[in-house]
Structure 1
């Protein structure tokens, strides 16, 4: 299991009962988990994968998936 190197964070606009994810920095990447199930599975992204994902979000790559 990967250990976060910092605190878990979620979006500031996230509502208390909303379906949100939390992210935390980890050595060489970023960890993501479900904010409603903090003891559940954690997904790890490398730095390159996370950067590619954020770049895709910024450029509307996932807009048609909604």
Structure 2
């Protein structure tokens, strides 16, 4: 029975993604981090119905990724937890946050 439950959950998630990508987002309001200039390369997000989020690059408006509410929540919580912190790099003066290596 676990396979049937897993399969139905997978089907539900696929339908949810299909519906999300079928959504017309031509009129959404794109937002970026405060303090960034209009001509600076940055990530932009738009809030969609049902808690979903669309994300794009400020220099490539044609490629838009869409995340369900659950996916976005997982990403934000992971970012807050440091999952995406960068190691300091010589080219940026070593100003990025340092994280511990996780097993």
| TM-score, scaled relative to structure 1 | 0.77
CA offsets per residue over residues 21-60 of structure 1, 9 Å max, x none? 110011230000111122x111000001001100011110
Runs of 4+ displaced beyond 4 Å: none
More strand by share: 1
Match of 1:8 among 30, 42, 49: 30
Specify every segment of 5 or more residues in structure 2 that has no aligned partner in the other structure, as ranges: 1-21, 89-103
* TM-score, normalised with respect to structure 2: 0.53
* Count of residue pairs the alignment pairs up: 65
Could you tell me which residue of structure 2 aligns to residue 45 of structure 1?
A: 67
Structure 1 residues 2 and 41, CA, compared in 2 at 3 Å: closer, same or farther?
A: farther
Structure with more helix by fraction:
2
- The runs of 5 or more residues in structure 1 that have no matched partner are none
Q: What CA RMSD, in Å, does the superposition of the two structures yield over aligned residues?
A: 2.2
